[in-house]
Amino acid sequence: MAVAIILLLVAVGSVLFHVYSPWWWTPIATNWRYIDDTINITFWITGAVFFAVVAFMAYCVFRFHHKEGRQAAYEPENKKLEWWLTIGIGTAIGVGAMLAPGLFVWHQFVTVPAEATDIEVMGQQWRWSFRLPGKDGRMGTTDVRAVSSDNPMGLNPDDPHGQDDVVIESGDLHLPIGKPVKVLLRSVDVLHDFYVPEFRAKMDMVPGMVTYFWITPIRTGTFDVLCAELCGMAHAQMRAKVIVEEESEYQAWLAKQQTFAELSGRSAVMRATYKSGGK
């Protein structure tokens, strides 16, 4: 009886903790409320199954506890019971109810609006770098062989579209509110994961690949960028900020940023000065 009661308390306590726990979602800041809805559906379905299984275990512990002279029935296979568990109690329907919203949201997640602006995020142990299109509205090509301390994003120096690209090295990313953005994700060393909890969007960054997702910021504010993939000793310190602001503030910030051409010119001057002994 004591074990059965403990099992029931675990089941009830788990449900109550989920409903009344002070920890819940961070306030959403993009258009991806579908992510919250999908997770909630999954929680309720799996929670109902968890409660039913634990309650059934409690019943079995109480109903079939050891008694003198009672023999356990050995039944290694029961086709009728298997079919009943799969179809009769709605297992297949429950699994389908969890999969269908996820597939629907995933399709939206990777279907980028035509008006979205491309930006790029580069992960590297243990820092973030960002790239935004310049005045021509296009980002230049990249090549991993061009990655260096002077060119952390690996931009192709011979591509004219990349000369006016805005490069932010180990700084904060600014985004305008209400405009869709396609976030291109790259890594130069190991697996990273660009994650802003309030955005409800995250994606692994795989060396040698370009992954992506898109968002539309709907709330101004400053949000933490986290790496959600264990990437080495300083993984927990791989932080940055995303600042969502009004269009006028964004444009004022953008005007102060340096382009790839300006950064390349500054690096060349510094190298020449160093070689000439003017360090």
Closest CA to 258 of 266, 247, 268: 266
**Is the residue at 70 inside a domain?**
no
Sheet with 240-245: list strands edge to edge.
173-176, 240-245, 221-227, 192-196, 201-205
Q: What's the number of domains the chain is made of? A: 2
Q: Is the distance from CB of 228 to CB of 121 less than 8 angstroms?
A: no
Shared-domain flag, residues 262 and 151: yes
Flag whether 183 is in a domain.
yes
Task: Please tell me whether residues 105 and 128 are part of one structural domain.
Answer: no
Beta-strand ranges (E) seen in the chain are 117-124, 127-132, 166-169, 173-176, 181-187, 192-196, 201-205, 211-215, 221-227, 240-245
Same domain, 159 and 220: yes
Place of tokens 């301390």: 149
- Here the CATH number for the domain that contains residue 134 is 2.60.40.420
What predicted TM-score, i.e. pTM, was given to this entire model? Answer: 0.76
Same domain, 106 and 131: no
Residues 225 and 147 in one domain: yes
> Residue with structure tokens 């999908």?
38
Q: Tokens for 231? A: 């990437």
**CB-CB contact of 183 with 194 (8 Å):** yes
Are 102 and 159 members of one domain? no
My answer on whether 152 and 97 are in the same domain is no
What residues make up the domain containing 56?
2-64+79-110
pLDDT in tens, the chain (279 residues): 788 888 888 888 888 887 787 777 889 999 998 888 888 888 888 888 888 888 888 888 888 777 777 777 777 788 887 777 776 666 777 788 778 888 888 888 889 999 999 999 998 888 898 999 988 888 888 888 888 877 888 888 888 888 888 988 878 999 999 999 999 999 988 999 999 999 998 889 998 889 999 999 999 999 999 999 898 898 988 999 999 999 999 999 988 888 888 877 654 433 434 345 554
Domain check: are 121 and 60 in the same one?
no
In this structure, the answer to whether residues 249 and 178 fall within a common structural domain is yes
